[in-house]
Amino acid sequence: MEHLLGHEWEIVPAGGATGEAFIALNDEQKLFLKRNSSPFLAVLSAEGIVPKLVWTKRMENGDVITAQHWLNGRELSQREMNGAQVAKLLRKIHQSKPLLNMLERLGKFPLMPENILDHLEKTIDQETRSLSTIQMALEFLHRNVSEIDCDEKVVCHCDVNHNNWLISNTDELYLIDWDGPMIADPAIDLGMLLYSYVPKEDWQPWLKRYGVNLDDHLEQRMKWHMISQTILSIQWHKTKNRFQEMNEWIQNLGSILK
C-alpha cells in the first residue's frame, strides 16, 4: 500500500476486526485508509455522515483503497446517546434519498420481518434454541410477525452501538462502520438505540427530537426487532466462545420480554 502514497508516509494498522483498516502518517498529515470499502462510502461522505472521503484508488490486484480525513475526536459515551445530536443525525440518515438510491443501485432489497425470522431460524443452533428464554423469544416473534408491517423503508445502519458514533473536536457528529447497511423499517435502529441507551421514561422526548411520536405500533416494532437482534447477538457470541457476553445478552433478552 506504501506505493500509493510514497515513501514519506508511514502506514500502520488501525485495528478492528477485519484487519482492512490503516492509518497513514506524514508529519502533520493523517489519513484513515480502508481496503475494499463499499461504493456506498462516497455517498455517506457527500451527505456528511462519515468523515470526508479524500480519494479512492484501485490497485493492480483489484483491491480498492479509500482515504478519509482523520477525525480528531472521540467515541460517544453511553450517556451521550440520549442527546439531541444523535436523534437528529439518525433522522437525517433515515430520510436520505441519496443513501436509499445508492443501496438500491447496489442491489439491496427491503428487509422484511419474514426474512429476518427465516434467517434467525436458520442461524441459531439446537443448543441455543433449547434455552427457555430463546424459546419464549421465538414464540413472541412468530406470534407478532404479521403485526409489525411498516410501509416506511429506509437505510438502516443496523449497528448503532455508541462505539460507532464519533464526535470531532469541533463538535461534528458522525456515524461510522457501515459494513452492514440495510433497507428496512427504521425501528431496527431505533429499537437497538433506545433499549440499549435511553431510559424508558425518556423514549417519548428522544423520539420527538428524532421527529416521530411514540405509539403502540412503533413500540411493538422496536420490541420485535430488538428481540430478533438480541437472539442473533447471543448466537454470535456463543459461536465466538464469548460466554460471558452471551449470558449478558440472555439476561437482556429476559428483560425485554417482560
Side chain identity, residue 147: E
- pLDDT confidence tier of residue 16, bands split at 50, 70 and 90: low
Annotation marks residue 171 as catalytic: no
What would the mean pLDDT of 201-215 be, rounded to a whole number?
97
Which is the catalytic residue, given 27, 125, 151, 159? 159
Side chain identity, residue 214: L
Spatial separation of the C-alpha atoms in residues 29 and 5, rounded to whole Å: 12
Q: pLDDT tens digits for 225-235?
A: 999 999 999 99
| Range 2-5, long-range pairs (CB < 8 A, 24+ positions) | 4/57, 4/59, 4/65
CATH architecture for segment(s) 75-257: Alpha-Beta Complex (3.90)
What is the share, in percent, of the chain residues with pLDDT greater than 70? Answer: 96
Torsion of CA 6, 7, 10, 16, to 10 degrees: 50
Q: pLDDT tens digits for 151-192?
A: 999 999 999 999 999 999 999 999 998 988 999 999 999 999
What pLDDT is attached to residue 249?
Answer: 97
Domain coordinates in residue numbering, the chain:
2-70, 75-257
Q: 2-70, superfamily in CATH? A: Phosphorylase Kinase; domain 1 (3.30.200.20)
∠ CA 242-247-250, rounded to 5°: 125
Q: pLDDT tens digits for 102-144?
A: 999 999 999 999 999 999 999 999 999 999 999 999 999 999 9
Residue 70 has pLDDT above 60, yes or no: yes
Q: Position of cell 452471551?
A: 246
More confident residue, 55 or 85: 85
Side chain identity, residue 132: S
**Of 149, 80, 128, 156, which is closest to residue 230 (Cα–Cα)?**
128
